[in-house]
Chain A
Amino acid sequence: MYQRAIHNDMVEKLQKDILSLQGFRVPAEGQRISFGLGAIENAFPNRIFPTGAIHELLSDTRENAAATTGFVAGLLGSIMQKGGICLWISNKRTLFPPALKFFGIEPDKIIFIDVQNEKDLLWMVEEALKCQALSAVVGELKEISLTESRRLQLAVEQSRVTGFLHRFNPKNTHTIASVARWKISQLPSETEKGMPGVGFSRWHVELLKVRNGEPGSWKLQWSAGRFEHVIRYKVTKPEPDLMNIA
C-alpha cells in the first residue's frame, strides 16, 4: 500500500513536471486569476485555466462571432481586473468599445490596432505577444498556419502573455499550436417565467481541443458580471451535453 502511494506521488510529480515543460505552469498562489468558469476549468490540466498561452476560438456566423467576442471579453475582464493593457489587433473590427464595460473591462484600457494586411497583422500579433507589459492580446484573423502559430507559442512561453486568436470563418481548420480550441455559439436566453424581454447572454461553449485535457461542452450565461453555468435548462429530451455539467 505504502509503496503504491509513493508510486502515485511520483507519477503525479512527473506528470506535473511534464506539464510545466509543455508550458502549463502552475501560477503562484497570489497570481492565480479566478475566471469563475467552474466546471470548465476542470477540463484543463492542473484544473487551471491556462494563462500565458494561446487560445484559439472559431466562429462561423456574425452572430456567433459576437458571442465569441463576448466570451473573450468575459475572460479578459478577469485577466485585466488588476489593471493592465490589452492590445486588440484586427483587420475587420466591428467591436463597439462601450460594450466592453458590460464585461468588466474599462474600454479605454484596450488599444486597438486596425491593420489591413493579414501578413502585417500576424507580425504585429507576434510582436505584441512578446511584450511582457501587456496583459493580453486579442488577434482577429482568418488564416494561420501551424508554423506561424508555433512562433506565437514560442513568444508567449517567454513573455507569459495570454493570447486569444479569434478566427472568423477560416478556410483551414487544421490543428495549430494552441493550448485550446473553442467554439462559442449563441443560445436562446431565458427570463423568469412570464416576464417579457430578452434575458442574459447565453452561450453554448464547446472546448473542441485541449492539450492534455478533456474536451467538452457546456452552457454558460453572462449574468451580473460573471459566468454562470446554466443547469436549469429547459429541455424536452435529455441532451448529452448535460452529462458534462458538474
Chain B
Amino acid sequence: MSVWFRHLTTDRWIVSQPELKDVPFVLAAPERGRMVIKAVNVRAEVMGIENGMVVADARAVLPALLVFDYKPGFAEKLLLAFGTWCIRFTPIVSVDPPDGLILDITGCTHLWGGERAYLKDIVNRIRGAGYDVRAAIADTIGTAWAVCRFGTVTPLIPPEGEQAALSALPPAALRLEADTLERMQKLGFYQIRNFMNIPRSVLRRRFGPHLLYRMDQALGAEEELIDPIRPVEPYQERLSSLEPIRTATGINIALRKLLEALCGRLSKEGKGLRKGVFMGYRMDGKIEQIEIGTNSASCHVEHLFRLFELKVSSIEPALGIELFILEAPVVEELDQMQETLWNITGNNNQSEITELLDRLTGRGGMQIVHRYLPDAHYWPERSVKEAVSIQEKPQIEWRTDKPRPVSLLPKPERIEVAALQPDYPPAVFRHQGKVYHIRKADGPERIEQEWWIEEGLHRDYYCVEDMKGARYWIFRLGHYNEDKEDMPEWFIHGFFA
C-alpha cells in the first residue's frame, strides 16, 4: 500500500496555525542566490504556483503570496513520525521520500474487514488530523505508487490487474528520471499504454535499462524490497485492543497474554529471552515502552512477568493504549546443561539465584552485579577480572602464596614515611595527618609493572603492623636513588584483616 501526502509540510503549517487555511502561502529556501519554492499549499496551487518556481516569479503571478522559510529535514521528520504512527496498522512500514509512505499490509487487512475498510480507516484518520492524503493498494509497490499519485478510477488494484491499471497513467507514474520523461513527452508517449507493448530491446536502446527495470517492478516481474523504519524483530508478539486500555490491570493482562505467547514460542524452539521490550502505542501517537534484561536466558512467564511488573507503573496510558507489542531483541539458546556443569550451589538452585539477580538488576540496573575470576597477573589491580556471565568458571587457581589485604583502596593513597635505612620498611608513616608507628613488617614483595600493558615503575610492597595492631599494605614506587632530593614515593594500598 502506498500513501501520498500531497501537501505534507504546508498542511503541517496549517495544523499549527489554522489562520493560514484560506491564505495562499509557500515555503521557500535559498538556492543559488534565489529563493526557490519548495512547498505550496492548496490555495497557492490553485492559483498556478508550482514547486521549483522562483519566489519573485510567483509574486508576479500572485502579489498576496505569503512566503515562509523552508526548513530542510522537516518533511523527513514528519514522514518518519507518520510512519511510526502507521505501525499500528502493519509492522512493516517504510518511508518513501519526499512525501510518501509504503506499507506492507500482507495479512493485515482482514482485521479491519477487508482492504476497502482498511484503506478508508487510514485515510480518514490522517485526513482527520488535517493532512491531504491519497492512498492505493496493489500487489506491487510500483503500481500502488502510480495509482496513489495518478490514479483516477479506484485505489484498490486487484491481483493481476496491474497492467490494466497502469495503461492509462502517464509515464511519470513509473518513477522515471526527469530527462527520460522529457524525451517521452517529445516522442508523444503520453500514456504508459503507448509504449507498454513495444519490444523490450527497442525500449532499452532508446531509454536505457532503467525504464525496463521500473516497468518490471510495477508489473511484478522484478522484486522490490522495502526498508522498514523499524526492523521487525523475529521474536515479536502483537496484541491490539478493541477499546483503548487505560488501567494498570488491563496493561498487566495484555502483558501476561503476550508473554505467554512469546514464551510458548521460545520454549518450543529451545530458546530463552535475554532482553525484552514491551511497547504500548497510545491513542495520541506516542509510544510508551519499558525494557527488562535477564542474567541468563529465560522463558519462564511468571518470572519475566515479575520483572516487567516492577516497571509497569512507569507507563502512562493517557487517553489509552491501542496496541501492545512485546519484542525479544536478544534471545539465547536455553542451556539445558548448565545446571549439571555449574553445580556450585550444591543443590541445583541456580535458576532461583539468577531469578533473584534479575529482580535486583531490574531495580538497580545491569551494572550492579559483579563476579570476579582470577587473572594471570601479579599487578594487584589486574589480578582479578570480571566474569562475563554467572556461569563462567575460573581458568586458573586463586593464589594464596603471597599475602593480599581484605580491603583494597580503589586508588593507592600517598603517605609520608621515615625509614631507618634505605631499602628497609619504614619505621613511621603519616597518612591523612595521622602518624602510625610501625612495630612489625614483612616484605618487600616486588611487583613489576607489566610494560606491555602500561609503562611505569615497579612497586615494593610491605605488610606492616602498627602499635595498635592495625595491619596495612604499603608500597614504595621505584628505587631509592643515590640522589637525596629525589626520594621515592610511598603509598598505602590496603588493610589486612
Interface residues of A (CB under 8 A from B): 61-63, 65-67, 69-71, 73, 82-85, 87, 94-102, 106-115, 117, 120, 123-124, 127-128, 131-134, 186-189, 191, 196-199, 201-203, 222
Indicate if the CB atoms of A197 and B442 lie closer than 8 Å: yes
**A3 to B463 CA separation, bound complex (whole angstroms):** 63
Interface residues of B (CB under 8 A from A): 343-347, 349-350, 352-353, 356-357, 359-360, 363-364, 368-374, 380, 383-384, 387, 390, 393-394, 398-400, 403-410, 439-442, 463-465, 467-472, 494-497
A66 to chain B, nearest CB (A): 4
Partner of A111, one of B390, B464, B471: B390
Indicate if the CB atoms of B344 and A83 lie closer than 8 Å: yes
Indicate if the CB atoms of B399 and A101 lie closer than 8 Å: yes
**A21 to B393 CA separation, bound complex (whole angstroms):** 41
**A69 to B497 CA separation, bound complex (whole angstroms):** 7
**A61 to B405 CA separation, bound complex (whole angstroms):** 16
**A188 to B353 CA separation, bound complex (whole angstroms):** 40
Indicate if the CB atoms of A189 and B440 lie closer than 8 Å: yes
Known A-B contacts: A69-B407, A124-B364, A189-B471. Give 14 more (CB < 8 A): A62-B407, A63-B468, A63-B472, A63-B495, A66-B497, A87-B356, A98-B398, A98-B399, A111-B357, A111-B390, A128-B360, A132-B349, A196-B442, A198-B465
Closest 4 CB pairs of A and B: A70-B497, A133-B349, A83-B346, A66-B495
**A187 to B496 CA separation, bound complex (whole angstroms):** 12
A235 to chain B, nearest CB (A): 14
Indicate if the CB atoms of A108 and B469 lie closer than 8 Å: no
Offer 17 A-B interface pairs, CB within 8 angstroms, sorted by A.
A96-B380, A96-B405, A98-B374, A98-B383, A102-B404, A107-B374, A108-B374, A111-B370, A112-B372, A123-B363, A128-B356, A132-B349, A133-B347, A198-B440, A198-B442, A199-B440, A201-B471
**A222 to B471 CA separation, bound complex (whole angstroms):** 14
**A128 to B407 CA separation, bound complex (whole angstroms):** 23
Indicate if the CB atoms of B441 and A197 lie closer than 8 Å: yes
Indicate if the CB atoms of A62 and B344 lie closer than 8 Å: no
Partner of B352, one of A67, A107, A131, A196: A131
Indicate if the CB atoms of B495 and A187 lie closer than 8 Å: no
| Residues of chain B with a CB closer than 8 A to A128's CB | 356, 360
Indicate if the CB atoms of A85 and B406 lie closer than 8 Å: no
Indicate if the CB atoms of B398 and A66 lie closer than 8 Å: no
Partner of B372, one of A108, A113, A134, A201: A108
**A123 to B347 CA separation, bound complex (whole angstroms):** 25
Indicate if the CB atoms of B344 and A198 lie closer than 8 Å: no
Secondary structure of the B contact surface, majority rule: mixed
**A85 to B393 CA separation, bound complex (whole angstroms):** 14
A105 to chain B, nearest CB (A): 9
Indicate if the CB atoms of B352 and A132 lie closer than 8 Å: yes
**A71 to B343 CA separation, bound complex (whole angstroms):** 27
| Residues of chain A with a CB closer than 8 A to B407's CB | 62, 65-66, 69, 94-96
B132 to chain A, nearest CB (A): 53
| Residues of chain A with a CB closer than 8 A to B494's CB | 96
Which chain B residue shows the least CB distance to A69? B406
Indicate if the CB atoms of B345 and A83 lie closer than 8 Å: yes
| Residues of chain B with a CB closer than 8 A to A110's CB | 371
| Residues of chain B with a CB closer than 8 A to A199's CB | 440
With A67-B497, A85-B345 known to touch, is A94 a contact of B441 (CB < 8 Å)? no
**A83 to B373 CA separation, bound complex (whole angstroms):** 17
A80 to chain B, nearest CB (A): 9
| Residues of chain A with a CB closer than 8 A to B387's CB | 108
Indicate if the CB atoms of B400 and A222 lie closer than 8 Å: no
Which chain A residue shows the least CB distance to B390? A111
Indicate if the CB atoms of B353 and A109 lie closer than 8 Å: no
**A123 to B410 CA separation, bound complex (whole angstroms):** 26
Indicate if the CB atoms of A70 and B406 lie closer than 8 Å: yes
**A159 to B162 CA separation, bound complex (whole angstroms):** 70
With A63-B470, A201-B497 known to touch, is A96 a contact of B441 (CB < 8 Å)? no
B386 to chain A, nearest CB (A): 10
| Residues of chain A with a CB closer than 8 A to B440's CB | 188-189, 191, 196-199
Indicate if the CB atoms of A124 and B360 lie closer than 8 Å: yes
Partner of B384, one of A83, A84, A97, A113: A97
| Residues of chain B with a CB closer than 8 A to A66's CB | 405-407, 471, 495-497
A92 to chain B, nearest CB (A): 9
With A97-B372, A114-B370 known to touch, is A84 a contact of B405 (CB < 8 Å)? no
With A71-B497, A131-B356, A202-B469 known to touch, is A96 a contact of B408 (CB < 8 Å)? yes
Indicate if the CB atoms of B406 and A186 lie closer than 8 Å: no
Which chain B residue shows the least CB distance to A134? B353
Partner of B471, one of A69, A71, A186: A186
Which chain A residue shows the least CB distance to B465? A198
Indicate if the CB atoms of B399 and A84 lie closer than 8 Å: no
**A203 to B406 CA separation, bound complex (whole angstroms):** 14
With A114-B368, A132-B349, A201-B471 known to touch, is A108 a contact of B394 (CB < 8 Å)? yes
**A62 to B466 CA separation, bound complex (whole angstroms):** 14
**A66 to B497 CA separation, bound complex (whole angstroms):** 5
Indicate if the CB atoms of A109 and B344 lie closer than 8 Å: yes
A106 to chain B, nearest CB (A): 7
With A107-B372, A131-B352, A133-B353 known to touch, is A120 a contact of B409 (CB < 8 Å)? no
**A95 to B390 CA separation, bound complex (whole angstroms):** 19
With A66-B496, A133-B350 known to touch, is A198 a contact of B463 (CB < 8 Å)? yes
